[in-house]
Amino acid sequence: MIACACSAQNVPPPGDQTPKSGADSQLTAQFVKTGLFMISGGGCNTLLRLSGNGMILVDGKLPGNYKAILRQAGKLSLSDQPIRALIVTDYLENHNGNNAEFLAAGTQIVAQENVKESLAHSSDGGGKVAAPTITYRDNYTIRLGGVEADLMHFGNAHTNGDTVVYFPNLKVVAVGGLYADTPDPDFAAGGSLVEWSPVLAQVLKLDFDVAVPSSGPMISRAELEAFKNKIDTVLSRASSLVKKGVTEDQFMAQLKTDDLGWHLNFPGQRLHSLYAELSRTN
């Protein structure tokens, strides 16, 4: 556990949070709630949580954004406090692209244990991506400078190492890749469309009113629940097709999703993986 018995710091949002020049021009910041900001651009949304003894980041963007992140952190915190912890919500490069730089600066990198194994098979610019320094299986809590971040892994969905980050006193949850325009399970990394809805059901048990996905704007509890309901509808239709004996090569043509506003694309091995997991549950 990363812990510090310091008091929390409440920092009001600066009047102008839009970067002006250089690498910062690719990143924009938005106030979420007191002491919490969303930094967009650079491949994903990054959450910055301020405390009385340093900062916590959620997801570290694509390679090349390290200095821009630090500049944004300095502007938003109005201080030169260090980033104590970087939480990564899965193994993908847009969350882990600057791990080496964070580690060199003394930042602890925290992830679900399956992320470490997945990163061992990933590369950043031809080399291995720096692994997390702290891993957990089901849950982990960071207490720093009077603030709390609860990390939870509810099962396989987008990947097998998805982390949900809950800030209980703010009623905000970071959901990483668990919310997107359309669900996109990474089957090669243990992802599952069948298990996605039960994972979201666990997230929805938390007391929150704002959710922050890896990309796009912040969403409400109602929007996350609506996304889950769409997945339930797709799974019901998909399971029905498998039960009827629709073959794999005809499956996507017969799976209706246009009324949901989704165009699901599962070619080749991805289709085979989806059809196989649906077959196992029927």
d(CA 10, CA 22): 29
- Please give the domain boundaries of the chain with CATH numbers for all domains: 22-220 (3.60.15.10)
Reported pTM:
0.90
Res 23 pLDDT > 70: no
pLDDT at residue 20 above 80? no
Helix (H) or strand (E) holding 235: helix 221-243
- pLDDT tens sequence across 51-71: 999 999 999 999 999 999 999
Q: What is the pLDDT of residues 134-160, one digit of tens each?
A: 999 999 999 999 999 999 999 999 999
- From the list 258, 196, 276, 251, the residue with the least C-alpha distance to 229 is 196
Percent of the chain with pLDDT over 70: 89
Average pLDDT over residues 222-226: 98
What local confidence, expressed as pLDDT, does residue 265 receive? 85
Q: For residue 55, which of 89, 98, 87 has the smallest C-alpha distance?
A: 87
Considering only 12-21, 26-35, 149-158, 170-179, which range has the smallest mean pLDDT?
Answer: 12-21
The percent of the chain in helix, strand and coil, each rounded to the nearest 5, is 30, 25, 45
Q: What is the pLDDT of residues 98-121, one digit of tens each?
A: 999 999 999 999 999 999 999 987
**pLDDT, tens only, 76-93:** 999 999 999 999 999 999
